[in-house]
Amino acid sequence: MTKLAFASAPCALATTAINAAIAEAKKHDWKLNVAVVDSGGNLVAFQRMDGAQLASVAISEHKARAAVTFRRETKAWENAIQTNGFHYVLTLDGVIASRGGIPLANGGRIVGGIGCSGGTGSQDELACKAGVAALQK
């Protein structure tokens, strides 16, 4: 999880994370939607790239919210189902079993989450990680 002072300026930090995720997507010509939520899963900021699919608007926010709610990357749920065969995970409210949702933390406390959607799971995850990295600088 990321260490940052998200609570002090959530909109500015959310914009920083989104801009970095969008920049990463542009490098690869991916069309993504990027959402950042606060510790309660409430939307702080969102951006839809030109050409990004409409269905991914809600999915990006869902990924960010799931990362906050379950205090882990959404990749954990993808692995639980695809690698470990833990299909019961699909019965848990709020789970999304696709990479591209990462919690943001400060001092071990969850302060938000970032979610990307519109590409493959690995593309979404890479863009999110670029957003997280921008907040660690």
pLDDT on residue 137:
76
Residue 10: is its pLDDT beyond 90?
Answer: no
The domain ranges of the chain are 2-135
Contact between residue 100 and residue 32 where contact means Cβ atoms under 8 Å apart? no
DSSP structural state of residue 71: T
Residue 63: is its pLDDT beyond 80?
Answer: yes
Give the separation between CA 115 and CA 128, rounded to whole angstroms. Answer: 6
AA identity, residue 136: Q
**Structural class in CATH, domain 2-135:** alpha beta
Label residue 9 by pLDDT band (50, 70, 90): low
Q: Please state whether the predicted TM-score (pTM) of the whole model is above 0.85.
A: yes
Residue 38: is its pLDDT beyond 50?
Answer: yes
Give the helix ranges, DSSP H, for the chain. Answer: 10-28, 55-70, 75-82, 121-135
Give tens-digit pLDDT for 90-112. Answer: 999 999 999 999 999 877 888 89
- Residues with Cβ within 8 Å of 106's Cβ and at least 6 positions away in sequence, in order, are 2, 3, 4, 5, 6, 7
Residue 76: is its pLDDT beyond 50?
Answer: yes
pLDDT on residue 6:
52
What counts of helices (H) and strands (E) characterise the chain? 4, 5
71 phi/psi in degrees, rounded to 5: 60, 40
Q: Considering the chain, what is the average pLDDT of its residues?
A: 92
